[in-house]
Amino acid sequence: MSPRKIRLSTTPTQEALDDLQLGDIVYLDGLMYTAREGVYKRALEEKANIPMELPRDSAANFHCSPAARINADGSFEMGAVTATASFRFSKWLPEWMEKSGAKLIIGKGGMSSKDYKSYFVPNGAIYLSTVGYGTGALLGRGVENVEAVHWNEELGLAQAMWVIRCKEMGPFIVASDKHGDCLFERENAKISQNFDKIYEGTRPATLKRYGETDDRSDEVI
């Protein structure tokens, strides 16, 4: 069975968001902005003014830094676009969502169902994952225009806030739904059933490591 394909606005209606099911394939139209460590730190910890009107202009936060350059004349060249792993940003996201009104969080690998249930669902937000994590060229084709880059001086090209106009940009996979269920956790649960069999006849390491336990009274042998 091939997955369902859906076109979605980056300022989506709640109805369109509620309709999304785990594993649906989504293509996006409209403005999206990139935000990762640098942007969250600057906006939330250093209380800098967010240089966009959110969520009016865009409700789509992409955990991404593109392979791009700023030309001497101030224009932009954006080649490939790929997401970075989102789990590292969960400490900032609840506050960011409140402040930005983001409805679509787009990134790599999703978050936990605990994240989804505690602040995605109450905000009516959905998580979209990029596909394979290497489809940078396909996503790059979905960039109709690079509208702006904010905080490049302060954060550098890789951490700056890029504003991208996208047209049928995709594919993305719906990785959380309106109930806060998690696609990756669903898949993990299925795969885990094979683990006993696959591990049969292997040996646990003789030497343990600190860092794998938080109990400092443990010995490593």
Partner 1 sequence: MIPIDIIQKTAETLMDKAAIEIPQDYLDGLQAAADVEDGDLSSFVLQAMLENYEAAKEDRRAMCGDTGTPRWYVKMGNDTRIEGGPIALEAALRRATANATNGVPLRPNRVHPLWRTDHNNNVGIGAPEIEYGYEPGGEWIDLITVHKGGLFGTDYRMLFPSDGIEGIRRFYLDSLIAFGKRGLACQPAIIGIGLGGCKDTCMVLGKRAACLRTVGSENSDPKIAQLEREFKELGNSIGMGAMGFVGKSMVVDCNIEVGYCHTGGMQMSVHAFCLSSRRAVARVFPDGRVEYRTDPDWFTDYQRRETVEWDAPAMEAAE
Using CB under 8 A as the binding rule, whether residue 113 contacts partner 1 is answered as no
64 binds partner 1 (CB under 8 A): yes
Instruction: Note whether 122 binds partner 1 by CB under 8 A.
Output: no
Respond yes or no on whether the N-terminal peptide bond of residue 55 is cis (omega within 30° of 0): yes
Q: Is residue 48 close enough to count as binding partner 1 by CB under 8 A? A: no
d(CA 21, CA 173): 9
Residue in 35, 102, 139, 169 binding partner 1, rule: CB under 8 A: 139
User: Is residue 199 a contact point for partner 1 (CB under 8 A)?
Assistant: yes
C-alpha of 97 from chain center: 13
3-class DSSP state of 113: helix
Alpha-carbon span 40 to 38, nearest angstrom: 6
Cα gap 203→220, rounded to integer Å: 16
Of 133, 198, 201, 218, the closest CA to residue 172 belongs to: 133
Q: Least distance in Å: CB of 129 to partner 1? A: 7
Q: Which residue from 48, 52, 54, 158 is in contact with partner 1, where contact means CB under 8 A?
A: 158
C-alpha distances (whole Å) from 201 to each of 193, 196, 207 are 17, 10, 18
The verdict on 77 binding partner 1 (CB under 8 A) reads: yes
Using rule CB under 8 A, residue 49 touches partner 1? no
Please state the closest distance from residue 22 (CB atom) to partner 1, in A: 10
Dist CA 122 CA 51 (whole Å): 25
Does residue 184 interact with partner 1 by CB under 8 A?
A: yes
Residues of this chain that interact with partner 1 (CB under 8 A) are: 1-3, 23, 25, 38, 64-69, 77, 79-85, 108-110, 129, 131-141, 156-159, 171, 173, 184, 187-188, 190-191, 193-195, 198-199, 201-207
